[in-house]
């Protein structure tokens, strides 16, 4: 297979995948295709949870895509459609959960942890810097003993 054929096949393969979703509906003035495609990629398919609503082939995903298309055609905003989905299926259906008391840990926990660890690290560095760099007389003595052990200390 020469390069041109390979390239053509590759392009065909990818174009099919794009069509798989977009040809369900007609896009035009009423519903913007880009908006629709980006929206359904941010919604979780609850049947196959690791797939977005946009990429899932489950029956429920098809029904929900229909519903989302219908709501967009009615002129509803993304936030209104979020509310529609969340009031029925819960926050889990959104890949990006809303900021509220039960999700505070999720949103800010990592930053809090980072702050705590950075503070600890800074303290430690400061402590190391404050340590005297010269040895006291007794420490010098101790170091000498360690480096040059006397014969009589050994058996």
A 10 A CB-CB count for 40 gives: 20
Angle between helices 3-22 and 33-40 (to 10 degrees): 90
138 binds other proteins (CB under 8 A): no
Which residue in the set 25, 27, 42, 67 belongs to the binding site for other proteins (CB under 8 A)?
A: 67
Q: How far is the CB of 94 from other proteins (least distance, A)?
A: 12
Rounded Cα distance between 16 and 22, Å, is: 10
Closer CB to other proteins, residue 37 or residue 46? 46
Rounded Cα distance between 105 and 115, Å, is: 14
- Angle (CA) 35-64-26 rounded to 5° is 50
Which residue in the set 13, 23, 87, 96 belongs to the binding site for other proteins (CB under 8 A)?
A: 87
- What tokens were used for 32? 């913007």
Which residue in the set 25, 42, 89, 94 belongs to the binding site for other proteins (CB under 8 A)?
A: 89
Closer CB to other proteins, residue 37 or residue 60? 60
**Contacting positions for other proteins (CB under 8 A):** 46-47, 49, 59-60, 63-64, 67, 86-90, 92-93
């Amino acid at each position: 297979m020469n390069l041109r054929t390979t390239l053509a096949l590759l392009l065909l393969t990818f174009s099919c995948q794009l069509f798989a979703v977009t040809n369900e509906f007609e896009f035009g003035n009423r519903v913007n295709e880009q908006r629709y495609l980006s929206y359904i990629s941010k919604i979780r398919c609850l049947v196959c949870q690791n797939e977005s609503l946009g990429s899932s082939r489950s029956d429920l995903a098809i029904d929900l895509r229909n519903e989302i298309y219908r709501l967009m055609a009615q002129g509803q905003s993304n936030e209104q459609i979020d509310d529609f989905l969340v009031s029925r299926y819960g926050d889990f259906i959104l890949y990006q959960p809303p900021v509220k008391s039960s999700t505070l840990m999720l949103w800010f926990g990592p930053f809090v942890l980072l702050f705590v660890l950075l503070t600890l690290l800074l303290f430690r560095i400061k402590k190391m810097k404050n340590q005297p760099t010269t040895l006291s007389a007794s420490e010098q003595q101790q170091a000498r003993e360690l480096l040059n052990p006397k014969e009589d200390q050994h058996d």
